[in-house]
């Protein structure tokens, strides 16, 4: 399962980057690619939540839940006429990176 989650996270990251690049080139399908990448990232984050720590109201896990909710809202807003939808998506992705910075490392174990 851990290997599958690693593949899911990598695919989500690639889709987010490719979607953002297509949006910069004014391609209409870039939004769909970006939203699917964020959607896969949401699924990955949900599977990695520690429910025991959430029930104990640990601050770090509650921040992760907040990040998931924010990504979900940004994913929904991307398909609306909301003026700040791209800013919301950028904020959600950057906040996700900051909250989960320990998973993003170049060190080998």
Q: What are the extents of the domains in the chain? A: 2-102
User: What pLDDT score does 107 carry?
Assistant: 56
User: What pLDDT score does 105 carry?
Assistant: 64
Residue 68 CA to residue 2 CA, distance in Å, equals 20
Across the chain, which has 109 residues, the per-10-residue mean pLDDT values are 85 90 84 91 90 87 92 90 88 89 65
Residue 109 CA to residue 16 CA, distance in Å, equals 27
Could you tell me which residues come within 8 angstroms of residue 87 by beta carbon, excluding any fewer than 6 positions away?
none
Q: Is the pTM of this model over 0.95?
A: no
């Amino acid at each position: 399962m851990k290997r599958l989650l690693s593949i899911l996270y990598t695919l989500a990251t690639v889709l987010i980057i490719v979607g953002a690049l297509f949006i910069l080139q004014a391609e209409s399908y870039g939004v769909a690619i970006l939203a699917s990448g964020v959607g896969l990232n949401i699924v990955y984050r949900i599977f990695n939540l520690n429910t025991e720590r959430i029930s104990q109201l640990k601050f770090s896990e509650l921040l992760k839940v907040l990040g998931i909710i924010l990504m979900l809202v940004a994913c929904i807003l991307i398909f609306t006429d909301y003026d700040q939808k791209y800013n919301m998506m950028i904020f959600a992705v950057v906040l996700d990176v900051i909250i989960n910075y320990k998973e993003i490392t170049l060190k080998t174990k």
